[in-house]
Amino acid sequence: MMVAESYETLYGPILADIEREMRAVRQEQVEVAPMLWDIIDYQFGWDLPPNQGDQFKNITGKKIRPLLMALVAQAITGDYHHVLPAGAALELLHNFTLIHDDVMDKSLERRHRPAVWTRWGADQAVNAGDALYALANLANARLFKHGIPAEKVVDVWRAMSQVCLWTAEGQILDMGFETRETVTTGEYITMITHKSARLIEAAAYIGAVLSTNDQAVIDGYRHFALNVGIAFQVHDDYLGVWGDETQTGKSATSDIREKKKAYPLLAALEHASDDERTTLRHLYAQKTLSDDDIQHVLAIFDRFGAAAQTDTIAQQYFKTAMASLDKTGIQNDTQALIRRYAMFLIRRAY
């Protein structure tokens, strides 16, 4: 897949440094309960022999958050090594939320392998997630090795704690939506903002705050990342209904089949006539949707321009993101890499 190849070619060395730092954080700990460390090694693919062919993409994850942090730091200072501990921390934190999310969502697989709870049970998965969050916090203490002053370390810690609280609140909103009759597109944006975009925002914020005291630059990268994060989610919702299977790797209309309360459905519900809204609700109230049902849903989506609305919203956030990036006033090769990074996330260039 060409896109993935370029991602690795462009960002490979940074990703390798992040990986190395994450392993160092783990190695630093004295093992009390060996099973915990088995679970952590498994989650990150560290139980596998090194240099497995597809290990990079499939097992260890794309590390989009620490990568953004490193890129922002490099765009500002020309180097990124001073943010690696915080990058490792954020990736550990992200994985803690994944382990718990898989328990809550009953997702059997993660990165082409059984999810932690599938293999070790829900209780141990809850525990391992808790431990991983603690380990993420400990990773930040390694910032001192790079001469980062304590005030900045505290700032990083605070930002990560705040984003973790928001992520949990986003998850709670998401679970609440499942049992609600009506969810507005506005409420949905609030949910995805907190459930996932805030973490991307935190990545850029931390990369910037560890590299400059210029508030305008920090704010520029922060707003860029927040808006890219929202655009990413909305565009993902678009691809979940109208995506190209060969590009997304999941079947088109899969979000309809799984009855996801994603942006296209909410936009259609908001603009549909009372009759069509009732029809949509009835279709989604069924236990499973037949192929005919899915075509029916698609037809209603079509009639009320759900595709265009979803695409427009994603584009708006993406444009705001790019404008925020410009406001940093920084122009160099790394800034160009950040632009490409945003396009990788959205999986196409607007």
State the residues that interact with a copy of itself by CB under 8 A: 29, 32-33, 35-36, 96-97, 100, 103-104, 122-124, 126-131, 133-135, 137-138, 140-141, 144, 149-151, 153-154, 157-158, 160-162, 164-166, 168-173, 175-176, 190, 194
Q: CB–CB of 60/45 below 8 Å?
A: yes
**How many CA within 13 A on the CB side of residue 332?**
12
Would you say 31 or 47 has its CB closer to a copy of itself?
31
Distance CA 300, CA 273 (A): 10
Distance CA 277, CA 270 (A): 8
Would you say 155 or 293 has its CB closer to a copy of itself?
155
- The per-residue b/e assignment along 79-110, b for 16 or more CB within 10 angstroms, e otherwise, is ebebbbbbbbbbbbbbbbbbbbbbbeeeeeeb
Tell the smallest beta-carbon distance from residue 91 to a copy of itself (Å): 16
Nearest residue to 267 via CA among 254, 255, 285, 251: 255
Would you say 169 or 219 has its CB closer to a copy of itself?
169
Tell the smallest beta-carbon distance from residue 288 to a copy of itself (Å): 22
Q: CB–CB of 201/229 below 8 Å?
A: yes
Would you say 183 or 338 has its CB closer to a copy of itself?
183
Helix, strand, or coil here: 290? coil
Tell the smallest beta-carbon distance from residue 42 to a copy of itself (Å): 14
Tell the smallest beta-carbon distance from residue 96 to a copy of itself (Å): 8
Would you say 26 or 301 has its CB closer to a copy of itself?
26
- Match 């500002």 to its residue by tokens: 76
Tell the smallest beta-carbon distance from residue 233 to a copy of itself (Å): 16
